[in-house]
Structure 1
Amino acid sequence: MAGKSKSLKWFGKAVTAKMEQAQILGVNQTMAASAAEAKQNHTWQNRTGTLEGSIDIAEYAKAEADGVHGTWGARDIAYARIHELGGVIKPKRAKALAIPDPKKAGGVILVQSVTIPARPYLRPAADTQYPKLASRIRKAFEKASKKK
């Protein structure tokens, strides 16, 4: 090999840009799949559809200094968190909470607190979809790399 030289063309910036776009696409696909799964596979009895309808991508993925970030979940629903995590509700300004009485139309039952069991719907969807993130990024990168 003496006397022979080879040159190497560096496409680092182009490869980095393709990877960043693949990451954005992969994160968006994963968030969309997670939101769809959370809407379909929840354990609560759906009465109004309000909570279910609030599950969506809140902020599409974008590149930032420390990586690619996006946000999904239940938006603008005060009771979304207690459904996911469970907890105890206590009155803030009153002496008791008024709970509708199922035995008496228009009647209420006064209680000091209500314990809401956790009914996770976001975490199980994320647990199913997040392991697919790397594969989605890889496929997006391979597809982008085939284009010239």
Structure 2
Amino acid sequence: MRVVFDIDGTLCFNGYSIDSVIVRALEQLKKSGHELIFASTRPIRDLLPVVEKIDYDALIGGNGSIISKNGQIQVTRSIKKESYHHILELIQRYQLAYIVDDEWDYSAKVSTEHPIYQQLDPNNLAKNVLITQIV
């Protein structure tokens, strides 16, 4: 059986790790032959540190827009180019804070005090690139 778990607020309550009791229960599911899949609004790179101690089968990130299976990341759904350029225009016009994720890298202009900043690429796996480099 495939078992899909949400991460934040379901398995992870501090934004960084999954309690060892839950990890042991997940290990038992895996040993029983179940396929473990984790899903999140986070991009794949930000899921990796949270699930690193678990033998999982697949990751679903970005609310389903990015998946990782067997270590291969694939974008399944992107924003249309016209919409993306409109969003960029609004960010620039109103000087908005933002985080824009690509397949792996990201572009961010957000306060270090913002709670999401602490979860943004915590293992320094990616690069914070110019927003114009993400297409």
- Please confirm whether the aligned pair reaches a TM-score higher than 0.5, indicating the same fold: no
Greater relative CO, 1 or 2 (CA 8 Å, sep 6+): 1
TM-score (norm 2): 0.25
TM-score (norm 1): 0.23
Greater fraction of residues in helix: 1
